[in-house]
Chain A
Amino acid sequence: MKNKNKQYRKHFVKEDKHASQFALSLNNRITYVYKTDRQGIMMEITCVSLEINILDQWITIIFYDNHHAGKLHRHTRIAYNDEADITDYKNVKMKGSLNNLLTWSIKDIQNNFIIYKRKFIKRNRPILNDVEIEEY
């Protein structure tokens, strides 16, 4: 019966979701999620996010996505205590296959995560007060 259910499900699933996560350092990590069709062709970059550890909680401070096959764009979290963000295309790669855009997003975060983190912490100093945050 279990096998039958599996086959039934497989027949009707039109896309697969893939999620991965890797550490940049002890307190910084990247999570990326994308969808492919049944042939393995990428259909959507659901999110490529930079998460940082503050007070034993992981929070996303920046992420890329192209929901509903739109252009790749960036969301930058504004404040530590609210999930509101600024969304833009600035310096975001727009041309190329979804595979290339996914790779570009991951590399951008890998190369610039310290800069993104410093900016976030700098503007949130009034909220974070004396909380010590490890850069790495």
Chain B
Amino acid sequence: MSKAQQVNLNMQLSEELATFIITNPKILKKYSGCSYVVFSYKNKELNELNNELVIGLINEGKNVVKAIQTSDKNFPWKFSTALN
């Protein structure tokens, strides 16, 4: 995957997640005020980078939620609280 393709995929993932959360207010309520970090089901490079980001955010004192993309169209995202 080229760098341009990777950037496009990443942009698309964040947009998809934001739209999904807006349309599922229960999730927004459950993780109110948290910082979401996206994990792709196929892009390991992105995931490694974002794992570092999760650690940094926890050290900042933020409540971090891992948003993990799935291949299931009915449940495209699963969420878990990231702990130190």
Q: Give chain A's interface residues, CB within 8 Å of chain B.
A: 67-68, 70-71, 73, 75-76, 78-79, 81-91, 119, 123-124, 126-127
- How would you classify the secondary structure of chain B's contact residues: helix, strand, loop or mixed? helix
Q: How far is the CB of A16 from chain B (nearest CB, A)?
A: 20
Residues A84 and B50 in contact, CB atoms below 8 Å apart: no
Top 8 closest A-B pairs, CB basis?
A: A70-B56, A90-B10, A67-B60, A87-B35, A86-B36, A83-B33, A78-B18, A86-B14
Among B51-79, those with CB < 8 Å from A are: 52-53, 56-57, 59-60, 64, 67
Beyond A70-B56, A83-B33, A88-B50: 15 further Cβ-contacts under 8 Å? A71-B53, A71-B56, A73-B53, A78-B21, A81-B28, A82-B29, A82-B33, A85-B35, A86-B17, A86-B67, A87-B64, A88-B14, A89-B49, A123-B18, A126-B23
From B19, B31, B37, contact of A87 by CB (8 A): B37
Q: How large is the interface on B (under 10, 10 to 19, 20 to 34, 35 or more residues)?
A: 20 to 34
Q: How far is the CB of B44 from chain A (nearest CB, A)?
A: 15
- How would you classify the secondary structure of chain A's contact residues: helix, strand, loop or mixed? mixed
Residues A84 and B15 in contact, CB atoms below 8 Å apart: no
CB closest residue in chain B, given A75: B35
Q: Can you list, as one digit per residue, whether each of B1-32 has a CB less than 8 Å from chain A (1) or not (0)?
A: 00000010011001101110111000011011
Chain A residues closer than 8 Å to B23, beta-carbon distance: 126
Q: How far is the CB of B8 from chain A (nearest CB, A)?
A: 10
Residues B53 and A82 in contact, CB atoms below 8 Å apart: no
20 A–B contacts from the bound complex (CB under 8 Å): A67-B60, A68-B59, A70-B59, A73-B56, A78-B18, A81-B28, A82-B32, A82-B33, A84-B31, A85-B36, A86-B18, A86-B38, A87-B37, A88-B38, A89-B53, A90-B11, A90-B14, A91-B7, A91-B11, A123-B22
